[in-house]
Amino acid sequence: MWQGIDQRRFPRARCQCVVNLRQPVKGAGAFRAVTENIGLGGICVLLEQGLEIFSPVELELTLEDGKPPIKAQGTIVWVVRRREVKKGPSFDTGVEFAGLLPEDKARLEALMDKLSPD
């Protein structure tokens, strides 16, 4: 397990939301994935390609609340290659949110409240 998990500022919850990631660098790829977990500070997604740590990404995160996707900037903060042989390479990728709008942060807080056990 990733050793930095205890260093998180925000708790995470298991939640599968569709996310589109795009690197703003010319010629860089775009990725569609499903979140492994989510928190107020960021998300973890499983990608088929490893991305460079500290590289910026643009993301669209679709929550299941019937509202438009959250559009935000993010930074790749960690990448861990999985050791699955059958499916080919895959990478657990941590993305930290940057500059969330207050209404988007409120939507994430509502989701976290819903997912957190009382």
pTM for the complete prediction? 0.83
Q: In the prediction, which pLDDT does 64 show?
A: 85
| pLDDT > 60? residue 4 | no
Q: In the prediction, which pLDDT does 13 show?
A: 77
CA distances from 113 to 84, 103, 106 (A): 33, 15, 10
Q: In the prediction, which pLDDT does 68 show?
A: 94
Domain 23-115's class?
A: mainly beta
User: What is the band of 5 on the pLDDT scale with cuts at 50, 70, 90?
Assistant: very low
Q: In the prediction, which pLDDT does 28 show?
A: 74
| pLDDT > 80? residue 89 | no
List strand residue ranges (DSSP E) for the chain, in order: 12-14, 18-22, 30-39, 42-47, 56-62, 70-81, 91-98
H/E element, 113 = helix 102-115
- CB of 91 within 8 A of CB of 76? no
User: What digits encode the pLDDT tens for the residues 58-82?
Assistant: 999 999 888 999 999 999 999 999 8
Residue 69 backbone phi and psi in degrees, to 5? -60, 150
